[in-house]
Structure 1
């Protein structure tokens, strides 16, 4: 059974090995496979300026605690990707509020991806991001993403606003979105992936 676990600064020592594996998977996906040159480093982990004590990590763990998918939430009251790296994606200004977080580094373990369709694990992580956001009182999430994501998320029933035009970038065309975190979005995503119940682990939101 796959469950969602949340790792923050307060419980990071408990999940030290999971965190290490998480950063290595990010390196494998973003540097080795997708060849994002801007984040390449001479070590086999991928960390950026926003992996700080403020980051909230959303992990999909299997029955033996192995990480099979993940993502990250960063408060927009702190430096984040849209405000500090791609402000041109939001000409009116990046949304900032205590209850708006930025969503980044969504991934599924490469071995579990489905050819010709979305992996079931993707549904678990997407639901997990929304469930964690609701649990933490997050009203909206912003995201810098590839230009195919708006259509995909709307198909899932997510309410989104495009904050600007698509930007042609060396690592692929990107766009900034603002997404409402709602019970309706959670319900429609569960239906799309055949998820019947909440997937947050009982210990998933540390204080």
Structure 2
């Protein structure tokens, strides 16, 4: 996890200039990094090169506690199987893993993890350009409000639903062969803590998984 905290500080503070979250120890951690937060980190040659965080909407999250004004008084989906997608970033530069850009693997991995864990949808506060990207790559997107102008630019709240068709679309567009996930044997399902993800029925494995050794340097882990 220290690698993840340092990667987040390097990307969001040093690179993107989010001075409000700068820390003297070089670790980027906030009030939402609790035990129920899910950390999806893309590793390559033992280095973190991409990252996303998923937060349960049944507890405080960014839309509920930081940006509720962008809903203009409206409500947003909240459910044990709906998470908020935050802190999505890939290291600067043309990082290729098995000839595939790291950004493509990260985006595919988030979608794939949702299918594995039974997460029905994600809420996202993002730039309208990313909304168009999600739609074009197979996510089922519902706009929850109009774009709002914040300090960091335009932000639109949306709900994005993953699907097997969407995962197939990612594999086709990005020439990804096989699963992006390397699940620990005892990685617990965030929706059903009494079960482990490795024991869940996962149809995508049978349909898209090839030789996992070809992807040993590309994986997402909690």
Structure 1 runs, 4 residues or longer, greater than 4 Å off = none
1:20 alignment partner in structure 2: 2
Instruction: Report 1:69-80 matches (<5 A).
Output: 69-80=50-61
The residue matched to 1:148 in structure 2 has which SS? helix
1:96 to 78, 94, 109: 78
The TM-score with structure 2 as length reference comes to: 0.76
2:22 alignment partner in structure 1: 40
Which deviates the most, 160-169 or 39-48?
39-48
1:157 alignment partner in structure 2: 138
RMSD of aligned alpha carbons: 1.9
Instruction: Report 1:161-176 matches (<5 A).
Output: 161-176=142-157
Q: Work out the CA distance in 1 between the residues paired with 2:40 and 2:22.
A: 23
Question: 1:205 deviation in Å?
Answer: 6.9
Runs of at least 5 residues in structure 2 that lack an aligned partner in the other structure: 189-222
Check whether the contact 2:7–2:48 (CA below 8 A) recurs between aligned residues: no
Which deviates the most, 153-162 or 85-94?
85-94
**Cα gap change, 1:135/1:196 in structure 2, threshold over 3 Å: closer, same or farther?**
same
Question: 1:34 deviation in Å?
Answer: 1.4
Higher relative contact order (CA 8 A, sep 6+): 1
Q: Work out the CA distance in 2 between the residues paired with 1:31 and 1:61.
A: 20
Output one character per residue of 1:135-194: Cα deviation in whole Å (capped at 9) or x when no partner: 111000111112321111112121111111111111221111100121111111121111
The residue matched to 1:31 in structure 2 has which SS? helix
1:50 alignment partner in structure 2: 32
1:121 to 77, 86, 102: 102
Give the paired residue count. 184
